[in-house]
A = this chain, B = another copy of it.
């Protein structure tokens, strides 16, 4: 059966849980539109995260969809990312203590890749289901963007992966994290999992994205 690769990250920055992995794990084995979700847990480490992703891409048949998930502390909504930048610039050390500054993810790679997910249709579908969502114009410059860029580069350049749709989605903190960080917005795990179900279904069935505004003034 065709597979959907869905990655999440291990906890980072001294936390003990990462909703991106909790969501991916909860959907492992879930079937949608004739495909099955395969969850992959990535280390929050520059370089190693992409090695783990490469291993998952290499074993088994060509996926129909590859989506990376990551935590965006401070966001209130599920946010499909629009574009990945070819830069690593770490504000804090990663889980291996590395803190690259202004280095390309891929030497000689293009400055950016756009998501090939139908991000507008996804946001519309999520909102219709009562799930908070917006398009994001920046995936940051930490390991999330690193994986997003690395993924899109592989999908664009590796022979066996061309034409595979892919992208990255940031999710809010969990309420249990917010309970330890006063003022932090959150979204419950069940809502996040339900959002990813809607998102995967939309990504599999909508071929041409909506022409609906979702931009930002700045």
> Chain A: residues with CB nearer than 8 A to chain B?
13, 70-77, 82-83, 85, 87-92, 99, 101-102, 110-114, 120, 126-127, 129-134, 137-142, 144, 170, 175-176, 178-180, 182-188, 190-191, 209, 211-218
**B137→A85 contact, CB < 8 A:** yes
Interface pairs A-B: 8 shortest CB-CB: A89-B215, A112-B112, A130-B176, A141-B215, A72-B218, A138-B138, A132-B178, A185-B185
Q: Contacts A175-B131, A216-B140, A218-B140 hold; do A211 and B101 have CB atoms under 8 A apart?
A: yes
- Can you list 27 A-B contacts (CB < 8 A)? A70-B218, A74-B218, A76-B76, A76-B178, A76-B183, A76-B185, A77-B183, A83-B112, A89-B216, A91-B214, A91-B217, A101-B214, A111-B111, A127-B179, A127-B180, A129-B179, A130-B176, A131-B179, A132-B179, A132-B184, A134-B183, A139-B218, A141-B215, A141-B216, A175-B188, A185-B185, A185-B186
Determine chain A's interface SS by DSSP, over half rule: loop
Instruction: Report how many copies the assembly holds.
Output: 4
Known A-B contacts: A87-B215, A132-B179. Give 17 more (CB < 8 A). A70-B218, A76-B183, A77-B183, A87-B114, A89-B215, A89-B216, A90-B213, A91-B214, A91-B215, A101-B215, A111-B114, A127-B179, A131-B179, A132-B182, A134-B182, A142-B217, A190-B190
